[in-house]
């Protein structure tokens, strides 16, 4: 048996074996204590793994609100900057519109005609009572009056559609109250993520001016490979990490998986909804999207520090039963990393003990044995 040097000299440790045989390392009790060797029991656990894909942050499209111009005209003022936070009802822009002024004048004209018809209807009713007018004349005047009532209602509704409030219309009693400017308000609380107008620009009715979105939740969209389709489903939990801020970890859930597969990349889009109350996630940011998956099987697991690499082999060190100073080097075949553990496919069974702290020292001693040191 060739002698091996331990922490305290050549008498502290010994090893035997060849390159093709399992190496056994023997230490003195003092060497075991100085190397601070610790062992743990090999355990079994559920087969879990992480699927990680690159992803991009986008707004929650269901919370994007398009702000359109209700009238055609010229933009006088734009008070909302790109990226600014706005509240519901806050003015975003002011538009000068001849169309709006014309609609108000038409409304006033219709009201005047209706008022004249109403007076004529009252006079005709009195004349019919006195026998100075026929019932047919009354019916004709009443029909005209009803027609003008309908036209006034339609003209009022058009003013509402053009952006005037009921209070604005109530104040519209004569031409001096006609307004030619309409204010475009924010439809909801949020952030302006798109702006397509500037002062002096001519806009048409229904033209999109802004997009306001609620960024308290955002979408993280990644590409899921075909091999992972069975493991990631709607409702699966997801972990989002930001490469530029390694300490930031966010959690969300899968809300949608595209049923279509991209023929070029063989991937499908996966969408995760993520709370973003602190605004760590910015639109367009690149992040990593990870899903924890599991098959339900139980597998053999050992801590990371129990495994040592020798060339292209992986080994662990197992204490000889009944002797705390002897350790056998045992080759193992490894599976995926599962959190703070590694799956062992062959070479160990649950219930056996392996060295964790001190395994690097045992590897060095076994290496010296193989090299004849």
Residue 68 is predicted with a pLDDT of 94
Length of the chain: 373
DSSP label at residue 35? T
- Per residue in 245-264, pLDDT (tens digit) is 766 889 999 999 999 999 99
* Percent of the chain residues past pLDDT 70, beyond the cut: 90
CATH 2.40.420.20 domain extents, the chain? 3-46+297-370
Across 7-21, 197-211, 314-328, least confident range? 7-21
In the predicted structure, residue 218 carries a pLDDT above the cut 50? yes
The secondary structure of residue 266, as a DSSP letter, is -
Place 18 in a pLDDT band, splitting at 50, 70 and 90: very low
CATH classification code of 51-62+215-296? 2.40.30.170
Q: What is the pLDDT of residue 1?
A: 35
Q: What is the pLDDT of residues 302-320, one digit of tens each?
A: 888 888 888 888 888 888 8
| pLDDT of 112 | 87
End-to-end CA distance of the chain: 12
At 47, the pLDDT band (50, 70, 90 cuts) reads low
Interatomic CA distance for residues 190 and 69, integer angstroms: 19
Find the mean pLDDT for residues 314-336: 84
* CA-closest candidate to residue 331, choices 349, 310, 350, 303: 310
| Model confidence band, residue 269 (pLDDT cutoffs 50, 70, 90) | very high
List Cβ neighbours of 67 (8 Å cut-off, separation of 6 or more).
92, 184, 186, 187, 208, 209, 210, 211, 212
C-alpha 325/C-alpha 235 separation (Å) is 51
Do 280 and 245 form a contact (C-beta atoms < 8 A)? yes
Task: Give the span between the Cα atoms of 221 and 238, in whole angstroms.
Answer: 11
CATH 2.40.30.170: which residues of the chain?
51-62+215-296
In this structure, CATH architecture of domain 3-46+297-370: Beta Barrel (2.40)
Mean pLDDT of the chain: 85
Taking a C-beta distance cutoff of 8 angstroms, is the pair 27, 15 a contact? no
Residue of 372, 373, 370, 361 whose CA lies nearest to 311: 370
What is the pLDDT, as a whole number, of residue 163? Answer: 82
- Residue 12: predicted pLDDT: 54
Residue 15 has pLDDT above 60, yes or no: no
Over residues 258-285, the mean pLDDT reads: 93
* Nearest alpha carbon to residue 172 among 156, 183, 153: 156
Q: Is the pLDDT of residue 11 over 70?
A: no
| Model-wide pTM > 0.75 | no
Q: What pLDDT, on a 0 to 100 scale, did the predictor assign at position 8?
A: 42
- The 10 Å Cβ neighbour count of residue 155 is 20
Q: Which of 209, 185, 194 is nearest to 64 (CA)?
A: 194
Q: In this model, does residue 106 exceed pLDDT 80?
A: yes
335-345 tens-digit pLDDT: 877 667 788 88
Q: For residue 9, what pLDDT is reported?
A: 43
Local confidence band at 296 (pLDDT 50, 70, 90 cut-offs) = low
109-121 burial: b if 16+ Cβ within 10 Å, else e: ebbebbeebeeee
77 has pLDDT over 50: yes
């Amino acid at each position: 048996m060739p002698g091996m040097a331990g922490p305290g000299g050549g008498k502290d440790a010994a090893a035997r074996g060849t390159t093709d045989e399992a190496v056994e390392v023997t230490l003195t009790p003092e060497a075991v204590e100085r190397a601070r060797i610790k062992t743990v029991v090999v355990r079994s656990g559920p087969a879990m793994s992480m699927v990680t894909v690159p992803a991009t942050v986008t707004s929650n499209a269901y919370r994007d609100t398009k702000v359109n111009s209700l009238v055609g005209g010229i933009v006088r003022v734009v008070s909302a900057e790109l990226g600014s936070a706005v509240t519901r009802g806050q003015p975003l822009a002011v538009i000068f519109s001849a169309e709006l002024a014309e609609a108000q004048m038409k409304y006033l004209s219709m009201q005047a005609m209706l008022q004249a018809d109403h007076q004529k209807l009252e006079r005709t009713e009195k004349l019919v009572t006195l026998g100075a007018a026929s019932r047919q004349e009354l019916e004709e005047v009443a029909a005209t009056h009803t027609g003008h009532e309908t036209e006034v209602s339609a003209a009022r509704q058009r003013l509402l559609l053009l952006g005037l409030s009921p209070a604005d219309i109530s104040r519209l009693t004569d031409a001096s109250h006609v307004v030619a400017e309409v204010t475009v308000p924010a439809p909801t609380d949020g952030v302006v993520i798109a702006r397509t107008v500037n002062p002096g620009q001519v806009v048409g009715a229904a033209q999109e001016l802004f997009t306001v979105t609620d960024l308290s939740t955002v979408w993280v969209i990644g590409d899921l490979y075909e091999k992972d389709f069975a493991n990631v489903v709607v409702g699966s939990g997801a972990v989002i990490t930001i490469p530029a801020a390694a300490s930031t970890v966010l959690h969300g859930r899968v809300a949608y998986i595209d049923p279509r597969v991209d023929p070029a990349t063989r991937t499908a889009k996966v969408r995760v909804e993520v709370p973003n109350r602190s605004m760590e996630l910015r639109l367009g940011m690149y992040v990593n999207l990870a899903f924890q998956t599991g098959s339900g099987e139980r597998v053999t697991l050992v801590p990371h520090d129990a495994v040592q690499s020798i060339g292209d082999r992986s080994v662990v060190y197992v204490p000889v039963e009944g002797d705390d100073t002897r350790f056998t080097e045992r080759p193992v075949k490894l599976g995926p990393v599962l959190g703070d553990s590694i799956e062992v496919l062959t070479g160990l069974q649950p219930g056996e003990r392996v060295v964790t702290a001190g395994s690097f020292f045992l590897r060095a001693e076994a290496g010296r044995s193989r090299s004849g040191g």
